[in-house]
Amino acid sequence: MTKSLQAKFVLFLLLPVSLILISAGTFGFLYSRNKMLEQWNEASILKLQRVAHNVDMRLSKPLELLEILYSMSNSMDSGLSQKIILDRLESLEGVEKVEIILEKTEKASMPMSNQHMMKEMSEMMHSHHAIFSKITSPSFDTNIGKDTIKLVSSLLNTSEETVGSLNVVLSFEYLMGNIKEFGWWQSDMACLVDRTGDYILHTNDKMKGRKKLGETNDPIERDLIKMLKTNSYGTIKDNYHPPKQVAGFYSLARAPWTIVLFAPGEKVFEPIIRARNAFIFGSFIIIVVIVFLIRFHVGKMVSIIKKLSENSINVAKGNYEKPIEVKSKDEIGQLVKSYNKMVEGLRERDFIRDTFGRYVDPDFAKELMTSPEKGMLGGKNKEVAVMMTDIRNFTALSETLKPESVIYILNHYFSHMIGVIQKNRGIIVDFVGDGILLFFEPLNETLSDCVQRSIKCAYEMQNEMALFNLETKQSGLPEFEIGIGVNAGTVVVGNIGTETRAKYGIVGSEVNLTQRIQDQAKGGEIVISDGISKLVGKTLNITNSFTKKLKGVKNPVTLHVINDSDIL
């Protein structure tokens, strides 16, 4: 029962709370996660923009100098200014080298000094009227021991024929070196790609040998290629929660490239993961606290209920224990207090019942108690069989014995007689000295059947005296004989006394008559009234009949002495 009750507490208390926590927590987590993802996306785009702007700024310095150099190419007197610009270009941070490649002369050199380069440029410009043209798309230079980007400016003659080129080689590490300072990424997986997804440069060893996004069938890269064709910036992540990998891209303004950054999701979404873990841990702590409260507080209540249940089973068996200690003043404490009062009342009732049961058979006592009127004061007229017994010459004999011997004889005698009376469902009204007054009430039988029980009981009581005398003889005491009188008639049956003190018994003239009939019985005899004889009939073995004027009785009565009977 205890486990069942605890299970119910878990089911009806812990489960709803857990469901509420899980539902509210899940909703709150998903809502927070979506908000954090929106914030992350906005912040990522902003940070990617800063990265692209940073790269554009680093590209813009050499590009601006090349544009100035281009604007001065038509001027014949700009040699000194061009030299200053070239000096400035070569001194820029991140510039690996500046070189001139002449296609129609054997004077091409790699590299050459600024002074020599300016001389060649001046000669070429004067002889071929070359001008700087547009800046072509940078390409990957594998001749240098590190990743570079080459900015190529074609040198055209007056016929707009390409006669050479001015190459500015930039370090990719310089362009991309400090991107971690700007973004959410926690790795160095950064690269430049063109609009079709072809790799320009990348910074991670894992990407070496790679030529194009999506060539490994990575879903993130495949989606990136699609987005590059329609968007200039964006973010993307896989479908795991949290994502295993995220990527962001932003197109450069000064070059036809896009910067792409990759990062592990667990680092990018670390705040969301921390929030999720905190929620799980917090929910676990709350559930543990609830379980503790159930075990600590509800467990006490369950233990008390268990104690009440166990004691109730014992009380039902008639085994009363000490009152349960009241440890609280709440409803459980009131329940325990009420239970203790109930048990005390049952104990008193059982005491009365047991006392009553001393005079009747316990099963017959229960049968009597099933009738509600049996517990009410007053009674009703009913035909019953009445019996009275008495030990002959016991008063005179008791004067010669010690008091303890007298009590021993009576207790021993009553124990023998009561057993026989209970066996035959007789109801003891009272003990009058050494005499017993009892009656036989027909509950679910006729008066004739009830009288036959009384006669049978009388014979067994006489037979029981043989066993009783055998035991008293062994104790050095004399033998005893009893006289029994049996009568039948109408008496008042019910509870006699007050609300606080009452007994179930009989009153009436027939009771007095039975006492007078008993006086006529000699030791070992059973004397019955004429009414008994008529009710029982020929089954009785009557040894003597006589008419007697009894004390207190107006008319003489006919009595019969009986011996062995077919009733036995």
Q: Distance between CA 453 and CA 440 in Å, rounded?
A: 8
Which of the four pLDDT bands, split at 50, 70 and 90, describes residue 127?
very low
Within this chain, domains 36-172 and 175-269 share the same CATH topology:
yes
Percent of the chain topping pLDDT 90: 17
Which of the four pLDDT bands, split at 50, 70 and 90, describes residue 62?
confident
The length of the chain, given as a count of residues: 568
Choose among 482, 553, 483, 545: nearest CA to 511: 553
Q: Where are the domains of the chain?
A: 36-172, 175-269, 365-562
Are 495 and 378 in contact by the 8 Å Cβ rule? The answer is yes
pLDDT at 383: 93
Q: Distance between CA 544 and CA 177 in Å, rounded?
A: 140
DSSP letter for 178, please.
T
36-172 maps to CATH 3.30.450 = yes
Residue owning tokens 């009913």: 382
Which range among 167-171, 305-309, 414-418 shows the weakest confidence by mean pLDDT? 305-309
Q: pLDDT digit string (tens) for 161-178?
A: 777 777 888 887 777 766
pLDDT, mean of residues 366-380: 58
* Cα separation of the two ends of the chain: 52
Q: Distance between CA 457 and CA 423 in Å, rounded?
A: 8
Most confident of 110-114, 179-183, 398-402, 419-423: 419-423
Q: pTM above the 0.75 mark?
A: no
Q: pLDDT digit string (tens) for 68-111?
A: 777 766 554 455 666 777 788 888 888 888 887 776 544 444 44
Q: Distance between CA 483 and CA 519 in Å, rounded?
A: 8
| pLDDT > 80? residue 348 | no
Residue 269, both tokens: 């979404």
What class has domain 175-269? alpha beta
The set of residues, in sequence order, having a beta carbon less than 8 Å from that of 16 and lying 6+ positions away, is none
Name the CATH topology of 365-562: Alpha-Beta Plaits (3.30.70)
